[in-house]
Amino acid sequence: EKAGYKHFMQKEIFEQPRTVADTISGFSSQINEDLYNTVVNADRIYIIACGTSYHAGLVGKFWIEKFAKIPVEVDYASEYRYRDKIINDKTVIIGISQSGETADTRFALIDAQKEGAKTIGIVNVVGSSLSREADYTLYTYCGPEIGVAATKTFTAQLIVLLLFALELGLKKNTITKDLYEDLQQKILSIPSKIEKILLKEKSIKDIAYKYMNASDFLFLGRNINYPIALEGALKLKEISYIHAEGYPAGEMKHGPIALIDDKLPVVALAPMDKFYEKMISNIQEVKARKGKLIAVATEGDENIKELVDDIIYIPKTEDELYPILTVVPLQLLSYHIATLLGKDVDQPRNLAKTVTVE
Ligand code: M6R
């Protein structure tokens, strides 16, 4: 069942090159004119989800706004449901749910549908409730995810959101055909880049060993990698029970910098994108206060070595594609911290894989 892996979570992390590739190849056949016309004419999109799926939505907002130029709001389903909604027939709601059974997400979609919104589900489980209730469904092709911690379904949700944003952009003429084709090519190389990150498992485990006794962690990212900081913190807390927070790096000086001392590990997402220099300044702020720094950085970045305690290198890609790579080392880091601490990573305490109650 676990195909030689110790836990389902580890197996599912290692399945990602394949599940990402399958989700890329399965995407286009799910699209029809009707769906596109609905979204192309939308004046606003709400993305509604819980937990890890919510973090995918936060990344999706960047892509849809950048490529399709449609304003997007992302909300926790449990919050969205009880707000006074502003909905008209040009409102599109995208509900993201691996299981398709999460009560808050399902009911938020159903309520909005009743008020006239068009609804799209991004779902992994074929035939699940959400896939039947939504007007349109886009599937991730991951097969069953057994570990309570969402891993392979997150990267697949990102792929669906990215491909969808690019198709909308092409249709709306808000991106050029050249950019579209260039990015499609780069997306095809994502599975082999994930493969390269997975080869670093041993060194990530060494880093896990070094920091496993910390009582708190801070994860920092900027822009499109900020939601990955949130996701890294969620992964760590749910399976290792270590308190962790994710923050936009630029917000540090507005509060959380007070937490930093020589015992606090700070995971900094610092790929070589257009926010690199700003991230380096944030890293320097942490270093000046003696925080322990673990950087996720781009292969070939030698400069960062003297600023941080530990580095996990990821392959170079386009700025917009980094979140699909930066999350992978964070999954492995939390997996190894939790297993080294002897926790049951596949069935963490107090948690269910699917939350079918409010
Ligand atoms: O099945 P869903 O995607 O709707 O589930 C949403 C959350 O319950 C889920 O992502 C949860 O946060 C995971 N345990 C995260 O690893």
**Model ipTM value:** 0.98
Q: Please indicate whether residue 97, judged by its CB atom, sits closer than 6 Å to ligand 1.
A: yes
Nearest to 358 by CA among 57, 102, 110, 75: 102
Report residue 95's pLDDT band, with 50, 70 and 90 as the boundaries. Answer: very high
Measuring CA to CA, how many Å separate 63 from each of 273, 316, 320?
A: 15, 19, 8
pTM for this prediction? 0.98
Percentage of residues in the chain having pLDDT higher than 70: 100
155 lines ligand 1 (CB under 6 A): no
CA of 346 to the centre of ligand 1 (A): 13
For ligand 1, atom 14, name the residue with the nearest CA.
149
- Report pLDDT digits (tens) over 127-162: 999 999 999 999 999 999 999 999 999 999 999 999
Query: What per-residue confidence (pLDDT) applies to 358?
Result: 85
Q: What is the pLDDT of residues 342-358, one digit of tens each?
A: 999 999 999 989 999 88
β partners of residue 343:
none
Establish whether residue 148 lines the binding site of ligand 1, counting it when its CB lies within 6 angstroms of any ligand atom.
Answer: yes
> Ligand 1, residues 355, 356, 358: which to mutate, most atoms within 8 A of Cβ?
355
Q: Helices (H), strands (E): how many in the chain?
A: 14, 10
Angle CA 202–205–211, to nearest 5 = 150
For position 36, what pLDDT does the model report? Answer: 92
- Using alpha carbons, select from 23, 332, 323, 299 the residue that is nearest to residue 203: 332
Rounded to the nearest integer, the mean pLDDT of the chain is 97
Q: Work out the pLDDT band at 167, boundaries 50, 70, 90.
A: very high
> DSSP string spanning 164-210?
HHHHHHHHHTSS-HHHHHHHHHHHHTHHHHHHHHHTTHHHHHHHHHH
The catalytic residues are: 353
The reported pLDDT for the residue numbered 63 is 98
φ, ψ for residue 120, nearest 5 deg: -130, 135
Q: How far apart are CA 313 and CA 299, in angstroms?
A: 5
331 lines ligand 1 (CB under 6 A): no
Q: Say how many Å lie between the CA of residue 99 and the centre of ligand 1.
A: 8
- Cα(311) to centroid(ligand 1), Å: 29
Report how far ligand 1's centroid is from the alpha carbon of 98 (Å).
Answer: 7
pLDDT per residue over 224-242, tens digit each? 999 999 999 999 999 999 9
Task: Tell which atom from ligand 1 comes closest to the C-alpha of 99.
Answer: 1
CA–CA dist 135, 149 (Å, integer): 28
